[in-house]
């Protein structure tokens, strides 16, 4: 594996100062040019897909088809966020025209989102393409008009280096400021910390562990000028099995979940790590079938030795807890760095009193919680920490009857799935990939879907500006043809000037 | 002056637990009912306007017409944010319908903003109505669907108590959960801190001093579950006099600014505390006229003795700085607790090297900075801390010629006024009352205008929900007739189900 030297403090300083200069230089580019650059990155990555996938396979042990799919997703993100950037709704353009004869005279006010400035992106270990160097955060920041500095994830630094070189080359060809995208290496925390603390850094995007994300969030809050950090820090993704639905199809649900729990060796932030049901014959049947399925799924190599080690340790810790029993584990012996698919079980009472059982075990592991009754299940839902997702396996009657539980799930997560699995995060405007802390550091934003652009932009109001000097997005004639709210009405029309009324 | 007992830790705990129960109880109310409640509060305040204004006059020393105007503004905020809540664009409703024959099958995804939960509001000293108990933050939180707990500002606790009683009575009459609004007193920091630290608190709105806002922001970031704090902490509001414009009309600009600097004894967060121009005969003329005008404006009583004392101290500190000269001060002798209108001046060089001169002097004070050349003026703009506003006094030619300065102003503020004054904050959707730190704690939000609602809401995605169980806002037929983005198109139409295509 190629190793890279950590960036020095001086190098980081140069990188961030150059990022600031690129920010200023980028202002002259239109939404269309911004989008064109993003499409060009997608095209360039596409032409090198074979080498990229091969390198990522070597570094991450993820299978070829998974990586090919992930690269396709990455291109789709770049292209679809580019289209969203150009379409312009995300700018939240608002115009209130002047009313000169009002007392006091109402001025002309126009508002739109502008880029925050240089954004530092920390990619994830488990998505070397889609949530790393040219991934969702980078695409959102570029769409917002921000230059990006990526700190390569050390687990796939070579892949990251290749992607970075492609983006830089594309920038040069597209006539963009070369430093619109920069790339640094850093195996420890020091480089990341220095990037977050640099005064030129104006926002941070992070996908990874709680400890890493929280540490960066804390540093950013302690800056002389605190800055927004969107850290997506994973989740246990509780699944609630409601009684009527469970009674209908315990086997089908178990088979579906055996797949979801072990997909990509359980290395998804939306992996269902907790399955909660009322203890009865149907739940017992569900557990039996789930166990039987899990036993037959082969252990597989995890992303890197550190993750495999952490999985083994966290799995052991969970299984060693009093009142936790092992339901099933893959029967095939694991090789080094492989994760063993495992299902454990505990009572609702044990779960409620033991915070260790609330923690994510990142890997192919799920804990089935057997509740005494629906009150206990509702209490568990109400006490749950913030989550990316919550899943309700339930009939309509189940959901109507257990409204308190449904509301508790809504209070604690960003996405609520009915009769499905949380794994599989569709890239579209309606997606919410976020949630209350500790799932993320700010529940008001998403890191998947074009709404993620708004993490990296802020409104600026232009009062009484001459029309010719306004950004095109806010000019009377609406030359870009974008949706704008004019005097409280959403329209693509140009403004009627107050004096024309 | 009536004094009130500080809330105890036990009382705060009860208040926040009740707020949480009210949050759950409020979920059943429609947007229309939410809006109706807000209109009812406005109506109820209106019928008691005489008593309210009289009480506020006694407590704040603000003149009657100013307070009447402020109360009118408060009612307008409640009514207009209620209308915005009901209109529903702020919900950012998005629908992506299912594509079952896609590989993998694309699920049905629908997203909208939901309330964060109990919001704690800290009102300002200088706006006893519009940015206090029933003020902008309360109106935004109620519009979002959040229950509110207000900590009364000790400088107008009696007014606050009256407003609170009116809201509580209105809630009862409207059939709203009584604890949708609660009110506590606390003269020191302890009560505010306990409110912000309580686990049931999900967001904070604050308008006031840097020290107060920053302390609450720090506490909130250190919680086990950090929560969003929007603190608006004031601003120096730099005004840039560009050469051609200044040459055209130094007297008119000076007269306009003498008024703006001293409006309401300078007690606005948008007060122009810094006026920056290139040193030449026109700037000298501007300074002479401004000084002459200021001398003739009578000192007036400030909001409370603490503010008057702080003004006197900060004014002295500024005037005592080496290379700062006093241009003019009101000639009339001040009475106790009155603020003396004052203009000081310094060179650009002195300003750049002395951070004391960058600090807000809250009151009728402004510092005129005389720059050597446009480069120095641009350097000052580029080095400016985050501001609520920046003002450009300039012709179109001035602005085109000084693009670097214009961009520097844009980088550092939330609203850029051309040829006007920063005082006077219109309540409308296009307003941005916010800005980079230290003007606020998050430049991505505003505390004036209906976009302020979004501070207190977060997106939730509903995946594969049965249509009947979805919130009305997301149902196929669009029963509320709101704007929604359906499969990337903004529309008020109902959805076409994928199976119908």
Contact B465 A418 (CB under 8 A): yes
Q: Are residue A228 and residue A287 in the same domain, yes or no?
A: no
Percent residues over pLDDT 70 in chain B: 99
A123 in contact with chain B, both atoms CB, cutoff 8 A = no
B488 in contact with chain A, both atoms CB, cutoff 8 A = yes
What are the CA-CA distances from residue B320 to residues B275, B314, B324 (Å)? 19, 10, 7
pLDDT value of position A190: 95
* Contacting residues of B for A451, CB less than 8 Å apart: 92, 94, 459
Q: Are residue A252 and residue A206 in the same domain, yes or no?
A: no
pLDDT value of position B501: 42
Contact B466 A396 (CB under 8 A): yes
Which is catalytic among the residues A59, A232, A385, A473?
A: A232
Contact B432 A111 (CB under 8 A): yes
Q: Are residue B164 and residue B283 in the same domain, yes or no?
A: no
Q: What pLDDT, in 10s, does the model give residues B34-47?
A: 999 999 999 999 99
**Beta strand spans in A357-498 (E):** 365-371, 387-393, 413-418, 457-463, 484-486, 489-491
Order the strands of the A181-184 sheet from edge to edge: A181-184, A148-151, A119-122, A203-207, A229-232
Task: State how far Cα B279 lies from the chain centre.
Answer: 34
SS3 assignment for B370-432: EECCHHHHHHHHHHCCCEEEEEEECCHHHHHHCHHHHHHHHHHEEEEEECCCCCCCCCCCCCC
Q: What pLDDT, in 10s, does the model give residues B377-427?
A: 999 999 999 999 999 999 999 999 999 999 999 999 999 999 999 999 999
* Contacting residues of B for A441, CB less than 8 Å apart: 226
Q: Are residue A191 and residue A229 in the same domain, yes or no?
A: yes
Smallest Cα–Cα separation from B469: which of A403, A441, A359?
Answer: A403
Residue B397 Cα, gap to closest chain A Cα (Å) = 10
Cβ neighbours for B198, distance < 8 A, ≥ 6 positions apart: B12, B13, B16
Q: Check if B146 is active-site.
A: no
Contact A418 B488 (CB under 8 A): no
B199 in contact with chain A, both atoms CB, cutoff 8 A = no
B328 is written with which tokens? 């003019």
A103 in contact with chain B, both atoms CB, cutoff 8 A = no
pLDDT value of position A257: 97
Residue B4 Cα, gap to closest chain A Cα (Å) = 34
Cβ-based burial of B195 (10 A; exposed 0-12, middle 13-18, buried ≥19): buried
Q: Are residue A251 and residue A224 in the same domain, yes or no?
A: no
Contact A410 B114 (CB under 8 A): yes
Contact A116 B466 (CB under 8 A): no
Q: Chain B window 270-309: which residues touch A at a Cβ cutoff of 8 Å?
A: none
Residue A461 Cα, gap to closest chain B Cα (Å) = 4
Smallest Cα–Cα separation from B435: which of A116, A120, A203?
Answer: A116
Distance between CA atoms of A114 and B444, rounded to whole angstroms?
10
Is A264 contained in some domain? Answer: yes
Contact B386 A414 (CB under 8 A): no
What are the CA-CA distances from residue B423 to residues A131, B112, B272, B417 (Å)? 44, 35, 8, 10
pLDDT value of position B196: 98
Q: Check if B232 is active-site.
A: yes
Is A207 contained in some domain? Answer: yes
Contact B411 A117 (CB under 8 A): yes
A432 in contact with chain B, both atoms CB, cutoff 8 A = yes
Q: How many domains does chain A have?
A: 2
Answer yes or no: are the C-beta atoms of B274 and B237 closer than 8 Å: yes
B312 in contact with chain A, both atoms CB, cutoff 8 A = no
Closest residue on chain B to A416 (Cα): B462
- Structural domain ending residue among the three candidates A371, A400, A418: A418
Q: Say yes or no to pLDDT of B429 above 90.
A: yes
pLDDT value of position B188: 85
Contact B460 A416 (CB under 8 A): yes
Place of tokens 């025209």: A97
Return the higher-pLDDT residue of A234 and B461: B461
Q: What pLDDT, in 10s, does the model give residues B143-202?
A: 999 999 999 999 999 999 999 999 999 999 999 999 999 999 998 899 999 999 999 999
Q: Are residue A274 and residue A310 in the same domain, yes or no?
A: yes
Answer yes or no: are the C-beta atoms of B74 and B41 closer than 8 Å: no
pLDDT value of position A500: 47
Q: Are residue B200 and residue B268 in the same domain, yes or no?
A: no
Is A165 contained in some domain? Answer: yes
pLDDT value of position B499: 47
A491 in contact with chain B, both atoms CB, cutoff 8 A = no
Is B5 contained in some domain? Answer: no
Q: Which range of residues forms the domain containing residue B139?
A: 29-91+117-233+444-456
Length in residues, chain B: 501
Helices (H) and strands (E) in chain B, counts: 16, 19
Which is catalytic among the residues B26, B140, B146, B269?
A: B269
Q: What pLDDT, in 10s, does the model give residues B371-390?
A: 999 999 999 999 999 999 99
Q: Are residue A367 and residue A285 in the same domain, yes or no?
A: yes
Cβ neighbours for A420, distance < 8 A, ≥ 6 positions apart: A391, B107, B463, B464
Contact A420 B446 (CB under 8 A): no
User: Is the backbone peptide bond immediately before A331 cis, with ω within 30 degrees of 0?
Assistant: no
Instruction: Give which of A430, A445, A464 to mutate to test B binding, by max B Cβ within 10 Å.
Output: A430
Q: What pLDDT, in 10s, does the model give residues B203-259?
A: 999 999 999 999 999 999 999 999 999 999 989 999 999 999 999 999 999 999 999
Mean local confidence (pLDDT), B486-491: 96
Is B437 contained in some domain? Answer: no
**Model's pTM, two decimal places?**
0.97
Contact A226 B437 (CB under 8 A): yes
Residue B5 Cα, gap to closest chain A Cα (Å) = 33
- Domain at B336, CATH number: 3.40.309.10
Q: Are residue A267 and residue A333 in the same domain, yes or no?
A: yes
Residue A476 Cα, gap to closest chain B Cα (Å) = 14
pLDDT value of position A501: 42
Contact A109 B490 (CB under 8 A): no
CB-closest option in A95, A227, A432 to B460: A432
**Beta strand spans in A90-190 (E):** 94-96, 109-115, 119-122, 148-151, 181-184
Q: Say yes or no to pLDDT of B63 above 60.
A: yes
pLDDT value of position A498: 46
Q: Are residue B399 and residue B383 in the same domain, yes or no?
A: yes
pLDDT value of position B498: 46
Smallest Cα–Cα separation from A377: which of A259, A246, A252?
Answer: A246
Q: How many CB pairs under 8 A join A and B?
A: 202
Residue A266 Cα, gap to closest chain B Cα (Å) = 18
Which is catalytic among the residues A269, A293, A360, A473?
A: A269
Residues B51, B52, B54: CA angle, nearest 5 degrees: 65
pLDDT value of position A105: 87
Q: Are residue A245 and residue A223 in the same domain, yes or no?
A: no
Is B105 contained in some domain? Answer: no
Q: Are residue A199 and residue A251 in the same domain, yes or no?
A: no
Residue B95 Cα, gap to closest chain A Cα (Å) = 6
pLDDT value of position B402: 98
Is B309 contained in some domain? Answer: yes
Strand partners, B182: B149
B269 is written with which tokens? 């967060």
Counting as low any pLDDT under 50, the low residues of chain A are 498-501
- Domain at A210, CATH number: 3.40.605.10
Respond yes or no on whether ipTM tops 0.95.
yes
Smallest Cα–Cα separation from B445: which of A115, A451, A201, A113?
Answer: A113
Contact B111 A430 (CB under 8 A): yes
Q: Chain A window 25-84: which residues touch B at a Cβ cutoff of 8 Å?
A: 27
Is A490 contained in some domain? Answer: no
């Amino acid at each position: 594996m190629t190793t890279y030297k950590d960036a020095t403090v001086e190098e980081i300083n140069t990188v961030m100062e150059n990022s600031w200069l690129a920010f200023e230089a980028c202002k002259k580019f239109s939404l269309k040019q911004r989008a064109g650059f993003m499409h060009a990155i997608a095209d360039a990555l596409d032409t090198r897909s074979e080498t990229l996938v091969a390198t990522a396979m070597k570094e991450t042990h993820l299978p070829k088809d998974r990586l090919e799919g992930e690269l396709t997703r990455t291109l789709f993100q770049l292209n679809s966020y580019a289209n969203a950037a150009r379409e312009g709704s995300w700018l939240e353009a608002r115009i209130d025209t002047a009313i000169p004869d009002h007392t006091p005279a109402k001025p002309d006010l126009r508002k739109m989102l502008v880029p925050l400035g240089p954004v530092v992106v920390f990619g994830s270990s488990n998505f070397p393409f889609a949530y790393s160097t040219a991934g969702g955060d980078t695409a959102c920041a570029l769409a917002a008009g921000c230059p990006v500095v990526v700190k390569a994830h050390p687990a796939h630094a070579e892949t990251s280096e290749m992607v970075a070189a492609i983006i830089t080359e594309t920038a040069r060809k597209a006539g963009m400021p070369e430093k619109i995208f920069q790339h640094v290496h850093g195996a420890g925390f020091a480089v990341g910390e220095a990037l977050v603390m640099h005064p030129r850094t104006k926002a941070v995007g992070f996908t990874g562990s709680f400890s890493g994300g929280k540490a960066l969030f804390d540093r950013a809050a302690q800056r002389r000028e605190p800055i927004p950090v969107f850290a997506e820090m994973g989740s246990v993704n509780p699944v609630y099995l409601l009684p009527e639905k469970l009674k209908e199809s315990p086997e089908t649900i178990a088979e579906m979940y055996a797949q979801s729990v072990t997909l990509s060796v359980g290395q998804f932030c939306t992996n269902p790590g907790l399955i909660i049901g009322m203890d009865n014959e149907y739940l017992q049947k569900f557990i039996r079938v789930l166990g039987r399925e899990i036993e037959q799924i082969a252990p597989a190599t995890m992303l890197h030795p550190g993750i495999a080690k952490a999985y083994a340790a966290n799995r052991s810790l969970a299984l060693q807890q009093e009142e936790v029993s092992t339901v099933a584990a893959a029967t095939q012996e694991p090789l080094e760095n492989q994760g063993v698919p495992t299902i454990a079980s505990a009572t609702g009472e044990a779960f409620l009193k033991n915070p260790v059982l609330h923690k994510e075990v990142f890997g192919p592991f799920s804990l089935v919680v057997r509740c005494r009754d629906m009150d206990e299940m509702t209490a568990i839902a109400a006490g749950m920490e913030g989550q990316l997702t919550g899943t309700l396996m339930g009939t309509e009657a189940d959901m109507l009857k257990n409204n308190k539980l449904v509301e508790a799930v809504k209070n604690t997560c960003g996405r609520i799935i009915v009769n499905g699995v949380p794994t599989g995060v569709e890239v579209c405007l309606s997606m919410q990939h976020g949630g209350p802390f500790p799932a993320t550091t700010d529940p008001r934003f998403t890191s998947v879907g074009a709404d993620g652009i708004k993490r990296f932009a802020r409104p600026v109001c232009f009062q009484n500006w001459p029309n010719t000097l306004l950004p095109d997005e806010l000019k009377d004639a609406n030359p870009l043809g974008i949706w704008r709210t004019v005097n409280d009405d959403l329209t693509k029309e140009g403004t009627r000037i107050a004096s024309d009324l």
